[in-house]
Amino acid sequence: MPDRPNILWICTDQQRFDTLGCYGNEFVETPNVDRLAESGVRFERAYAQSPVCTPSRASFLTGRYPRTTGVRGNGCPIPDDETLVTRRLADEGYICGLSGKLHIRPCHPSTEDLPTAESRIDDGYADFQWSHDTTHPSPANEYLEWLAERGVEYEERPIDGCEYATYGMPAEYHQTTWCAEKAESFIETATDGDRPWLYSVNPFDPHHAFVAPEDYLQRYLDRLDEIPLPDYEPGELDDKPPWYGECHEGAYASPDLFSYEEMDERDHRVIRAVYWAMCDLIDDAVGQLLDALERTGQREDTIVVFTSDHGELLGDHGIYLKGSFFYEESLRIPLVISGPEIQAGIETDELVELVDLAPTFVEAAGSDAPQAMQGRSLWPLLTGTVESHRDSVYAEAYDAVHWQEPTGYSTMIRTDEYKLVRHHGVGMGELYDLDENPDTVSNHWNDLAYAQVKTDLLTELSDRMAGTVDPLPEREAPW
């Protein structure tokens, strides 16, 4: 057995916090993540540093904020000189592997003059099984190669009465299942060595498009009228930046895609049902991996992490998908960590950030986090040596998506009581009293009664922004 813990890092894509039984969802069936939470620590208030994929992933893989890495939004490549935590652990003797997404550099599924596969930096992954999504062209997409080996073609089928979601591949041929099978094979092989390992399991689900296996979806369709409609109050976008209203009307990437006003109640409910069905399938994959750890005698030596890169609006606030939005549904994600030395059955309300994961892994492996990392290790919180962690969480969106006009430079700070968002260069912002309105509907940005609160939060926001200045290069002399 290794003298340092293994790390099984399960990171889904676009999965908001309230999609698991252990987070209070009474519809989903997620017994495996729920039992993982019972054996470890569940973070009630964990936040991504960006509401879109690439900057968030570059941030938590390096332990550095998006502004520091220079990865502003999707389509921006991480610089060659950034160092992932997997590279650092590999240098310390870990064997690192990955199945599924990485997405810290652009992917070009339909651009003839650019490569189809994601280019790589020196990322430390010795076993690299890459599949950006379910439709990315082969041979770059190893999931499609896996299907071809089985004589199966990827396909989707329409759901009667809903143009916004489809039936997808059966579970046995699903990309999530492929990710889990690759990870399971790695886990089984790892029993032959004495080196610790880290494996990243990165399925594409529950990212849009909304596609789920029929047998997972049917139980939701059978009780469709019970599924709640999106949380939206007409008029709540009136005092928000223009891109909020544009996305409400359907301007995400192309006209009329997920236009809230054009959907009927059944559309809304079916989309939510498909999204939850995808989460249920992910939970089955988690169970498969936990069983593999138990079967190979590695569970007691392995830290298991379950999280996601950011959330999904799912029609709440009148908007679907993602963008430069800082709602709880956009940024708040599940985070469950279980393993050796970690407390069991703990639920914590401490404010934590995904940027904290990289230094946590380094400390768990017995090393000190390097100066380059800006996150704060969660290890003392996980092991019970401290009870507090952060006074606020911070997030950024700089030119996050290609379709948004203006480009949207925005920053956010969230404390126990308030959330403030500054939309830079457009003279707008958002201020929410979370005690009064946890659903973040009523914007107090221009409310004189909150003038002092706004001033204090802007000051704290500027301090957090200053904290994203790159700590590298290190000082070499007094002058």
Q: Residues 259-272: what's their mean pLDDT?
A: 93
pLDDT higher than 60, residue 405: no
Give residue 255's pLDDT.
47
Confidence of residue 29 (pLDDT cuts 50, 70, 90): very high
Three-state SS annotation for 154-199: CCCEEECCEEEEEECCCHHHCHHHHHHHHHHHHHHHHCCCCCCEEE
pLDDT higher than 70, residue 161: yes
What pLDDT digit, counting tens, does each position of 97-145 carry?
A: 999 999 999 887 665 666 668 889 999 999 999 999 988 887 789 999 9
Q: What percent of the chain has pLDDT over 90?
A: 82
In whole angstroms, what is the distance from residue 43 CA to residue 348 CA?
5
Here the tokens at position 47 are 């936040």
Give residue 370's pLDDT.
96
Confidence of residue 252 (pLDDT cuts 50, 70, 90): low
Note the pTM of the prediction, 2 decimals. 0.96
What pLDDT digit, counting tens, does each position of 270-285 carry?
A: 999 999 999 999 999 9
Confidence of residue 243 (pLDDT cuts 50, 70, 90): confident
Q: What percent of the chain has pLDDT over 70?
A: 95
Long-range contacts of 376-381 (CB under 8 A, 24+ apart): 378/337, 378/352, 381/41, 381/348, 381/350, 381/352
Closest CA to 303 of 360, 369, 386: 360
Give residue 245's pLDDT.
86
What pLDDT digit, counting tens, does each position of 295-349 carry?
A: 999 999 999 999 999 999 999 999 999 888 999 999 999 999 999 999 999 999 9
Pair 145, 139: CB distance under 8 Å: yes
Q: Is 74 left (phi over 0), alpha (psi -120 to 50) or beta?
A: beta
Give residue 109's pLDDT.
63
pLDDT higher than 70, residue 401: no
Q: Residues 427-435: what's their mean pLDDT?
A: 94
In whole angstroms, what is the distance from residue 223 CA to residue 277 CA?
13
Q: Residues 180-195: what's their mean pLDDT?
A: 92
Give residue 399's pLDDT.
77
What pLDDT digit, counting tens, does each position of 328-338 carry?
A: 999 999 999 99
Q: Residues 286-290: what's their mean pLDDT?
A: 98
User: Omega before 473 cis (within 30°)?
Assistant: yes
pLDDT higher than 90, residue 51: yes
Confidence of residue 249 (pLDDT cuts 50, 70, 90): confident
Sign of the Cα pseudo-torsion (182, 188, 192, 198, in order): positive
Q: What does the domain layout of the chain look like in residue ranges? A: 6-391
User: Omega before 31 cis (within 30°)?
Assistant: no
pLDDT higher than 90, residue 1: no
Ranges 117-131, 233-247, 252-266, 440-454: which has the least confidence: 252-266
Q: Residues 81-91: what's their mean pLDDT?
A: 98
The average confidence (pLDDT) of the chain is: 93
What pLDDT digit, counting tens, does each position of 349-375 carry?
A: 999 999 999 999 999 999 999 999 999
Give residue 403's pLDDT.
58
What is 6-391's CATH topology?
Answer: Alkaline Phosphatase, subunit A (3.40.720)
Which residue type occupies 22?
A: C
Give residue 251's pLDDT.
59
Give residue 439's pLDDT.
85
